[in-house]
Amino acid sequence: MAKTIRPTEPLAVDHSHVAEIAAEEAGTQDFEVALVSLNQWQLAWRRYRRHRLAVIGSGFLLAMIAVAIFGTILWPYNPNDIPGVTTPGGDPPTLNPIENLFGTDFGGRSVLQMVIVGARISVAVGLFTMLIATTIGVTIGALAGYAGGRLDGALMRFVDLMLAIPFLFVILVAARFFGGGDPVTLIVIFGLLFWAGLSRLVRALYLSLREAEFVEAAKAVGVSDMRITFRHILPNALGPIVVSATLIMAGAIVTEAFVSFLNFGIRATDVSWGNALSNSKGYLLQGNWWWPFFPGMALALTVIAVNFIGDGLRDALDPRSKE
Amino acid sequence: MVKYIIRRTLGLIPLLLGIVLISFALMKLAPGGPERQFNQNPRVTEEQINAWLTRWCLEREPTPIGIVREFSGWMGFYNCDTESIFSASGGLNLLPEFLGGGDNGIIHGDLGISIVSARPVTDIIVERIPATLILTSVALFLWVTIAILLGVIAAVRRYSFFDQTVTFFSYVFYSLPTFWLGLMFIFFFAVTLHWLPAQGIVSPRDWPPFNTPQYWEAFGQDPWSAIYDIGRHLVLPVTVLVLVNIAGDSRFVRASMLEALNQDYVRTARAKGLPRRTVIMKHTFRNAMLPVVTNVALELPFLFSGAIVTETIFSWAGMGLLFIEGVTARDYFLLMGLILITSTLVIAFNLVADVVYAIVDPRIRYD
């Protein structure tokens, strides 16, 4: 987010601030200055904390992950538990009891509970897609960027191809033909399709980093190429990679919801936010707003949280790419 | 310049071939053969299915050679009727028709026949283009214009309240799932307030279906109310598209403007004592627009590929909805045709973007 950050170089410590702390610690003398040096990660954490929206976002995402893990344990979900409804599309939200806080669906099931159960799919799809896609993207990008030459050419032509084909088209076709409503298959499909942009970025990073002096130094002392690629260059390229991994996560969560919304994703009997939206669509014209509203809100807030985290990480890990 | 364009175009050929191969492979890997499509239709006899399979070189249990034949038939290298690479008139099948070639396959502009509606895929796609073009061109025009305005103002007043507000809302709208935003808009503006129609391109009570001969006849009789009717239907989908897409572009314009503002020539212009307005409009804006032009060129395929999400929510019968219909019905030929056309447009506009950039920016060398 747009706010002034001081250009903080590693070890360039804000002296006035440190002096204050030191003065507090040392009692009253303000000339006794103890320098506190911070390493890269502490500096990054300091920059991250300053991004208020990112901190709120991380809190929200952690809460969502907790809901996904513990939600159904604390409040078991039984799809056959149908209490019955009084209005055609379900009952509007009431404050008492908690079950009906978000209203009910056409079967009288609690929408609040559906939001809680649906969090499992969204969080899992987001996290695991990010994991798979980032692994593939980093490996291919690193390979292309570090090796160069013909391998680079071949891999990048393949990436061009992946990026030329409209992404949503392939996702929908693959989910329809191979998905079968299984979350794991869906995650694999997403993972295999989300990496192309990232690999291009990683390649660009490696192209510039492999000319750096520390790589030359590592080569001179006989470090193997494998080790240079992953132990020496990768940590230096981590900032942009982490940022774009969060974008992949946000993208995967939205795409899962959309694919499920079109009934090509998670099977209709399972609960996901996209499914809830899909089921509620037909009742919208009867004024049944709460059923699509709350799962959609959960989805929107999670994605916004992830995007804010990404922005905070960009400030923290990759300050040069700010503008 | 001409040499550059020719070289870049030749470079696209492997990419195109790859796209063709991938879209074909995707269809081929899908479980269940195309003839399964007729399972639900008791009127189709076994002979008819066989004839249909032969026409398109399809096989029930394709062998590797069969798959190659199927692919060449779809491409147009192979003639399924004569069962050879020669056409009925004796020439090589891949030649154009007037040189004695065949008329089947994508190299002859024949994308095959839709399994569901039994009509040529090309016809179906051409029929849907006007609806998509209306929606996407209005939306693209609006969001690019607004994004440029917002981006420039945000950059000039960097870190001001305006800038922060624009940034915050771009993030929010960028993150909002399009289909959910669409549903909420329908609920609020159409169902609750009754201000705007919820779905479709034209009001079905007053007008015949869009893009039929009857419609154009009615259109000719009363064009203004027809345009007004479409306009009312356009408001919600266009708003959704603009809100969601404005974020990326306005950030891009802002970044580009900021970079231009930091250039030496801008400092020189200021130091000369030029009015702020002149510095921003003539010196900064024009230079900042160079990358923006390229970026917009890259967005142009959207005009034809359509907005899958938005068209689905608002039942806007364009290319995006056509694709969803194709996926639902597993219409192989239609899907292959759509993927092929859209991907070709994407790489074509990539080339256009590069060429435009080379033309508008004299600093770019293209040799």
pLDDT tens for chain B, 367 residues long, are 788 888 888 878 888 888 888 878 877 776 666 666 666 666 777 777 777 777 777 776 667 777 777 777 777 777 776 666 676 666 666 676 666 666 667 777 777 777 777 788 888 888 888 888 888 899 999 999 999 999 888 888 888 888 888 888 888 888 888 888 888 888 888 888 888 887 888 777 777 888 788 888 888 888 888 888 888 889 999 999 998 888 888 888 888 888 888 888 888 888 888 888 888 888 888 888 888 888 888 888 877 777 888 888 888 888 888 888 888 877 778 888 888 888 888 888 888 888 887 777 777 666 5
CA distance B167 to chain A (A): 7
Under 8 Å between Cβ of B127 and B211: yes
Residue with tokens 């292959």, as numbered in its chain: B336
Give me the pLDDT at residue A96, please.
66
Read off the pLDDT of residues A117-166 as tens digits, 9 standing for 90 and up.
Answer: 888 888 899 999 999 999 999 999 998 888 888 888 888 888 888 888 77
Full DSSP string of A276-306: HHHHHGGGGGGT--HHHHHHHHHHHHHHHHH
Can you give the pTM of this predicted structure? 0.81
Angstrom distance (rounded) from CA B288 to CA B258:
8
**Best CA proximity match to B231, nearest among B309, B135, B141:** B135
Which chain B residues are closer than 8 Å to A293 by Cβ?
184
Across the interface, of B163, B171, B347, the residue whose CB is closest to A307 is: B171
CB contact under 8 A, B23 and A165: yes
**Which tokens go with B42?**
């008791």
- Give the end-to-end CA distance of chain B in Å, rounded to a whole number: 8
Read off the pLDDT of residues A256-309 as tens digits, 9 standing for 90 and up.
Answer: 888 888 888 788 778 888 888 888 877 777 777 788 888 888 888 998 899 888
Which chain A residues are closer than 8 Å to B14 by Cβ?
157
Give me the pLDDT at residue B267, please.
87
Q: Which chain B residue has its CA at the smallest distance from A300's CA?
A: B176
Angstrom distance (rounded) from CA B140 to CA B359:
23
Across the interface, of B167, B309, B350, the residue whose CB is closest to A1 is: B167
Total residue count of chain A as it appears in this document: 323
**Which tokens go with B291?**
């990358």
Give me the pLDDT at residue B356, please.
80
Within a 10 A sphere around the Cβ of B291, how many other Cβ atoms?
Answer: 17
Angstrom distance (rounded) from CA A243 to CA A5:
18
CB contact under 8 A, A172 and B255: no
Answer whether A275 touches B (CB < 8 Å).
no
Angstrom distance (rounded) from CA A269 to CA B81:
46
CA distance A254 to chain B (A): 6
Does pLDDT of A11 surpass 50?
no
CB contact under 8 A, A170 and B26: yes
Which chain A residues are closer than 8 Å to B175 by Cβ?
250, 300, 303-304, 306-307
Under 8 Å between Cβ of B107 and B76: yes
User: Looking at this protein, which amino acid is placed at residue A303?
Assistant: V
Full DSSP string of B144-189: HHHHHHHHHHHHHTTTSHHHHHHHHHHHHHHHS-HHHHHHHHIIII
Which chain B residues are closer than 8 Å to A257 by Cβ?
177, 179-180
Which chain A residues are closer than 8 Å to B19 by Cβ?
161, 164-165
Under 8 Å between Cβ of A251 and A197: no
Beta bridge partners of B84: B79
Phi first, then psi: give them for residue B92, nearest 5 degrees: -65, 135
CA distance B116 to chain A (A): 16
Phi first, then psi: give them for residue A53, nearest 5 degrees: -65, -35
Instruction: Give the model's confidence band at A177: pLDDT under 50 very low, under 70 low, under 90 confident, else very high.
Output: confident
Read off the pLDDT of residues A88-110 as tens digits, 9 standing for 90 and up.
Answer: 667 777 766 677 777 777 776 77
CB contact under 8 A, A296 and B255: no
Give me the pLDDT at residue A138, please.
92
CB contact under 8 A, B19 and A161: yes
Mean pLDDT of chain A: 80
Q: What angle do CA B204, B210, B213 make, to 5 degrees?
A: 115
Q: Give Cβ neighbours of residue A296 (< 8 Å, ≥ 6 apart).
A: A273, A277, B177, B180, B183, B184
Which chain B residues are closer than 8 Å to A153 by Cβ?
none
Give me the pLDDT at residue A9, please.
42
Give me the pLDDT at residue A7, please.
42
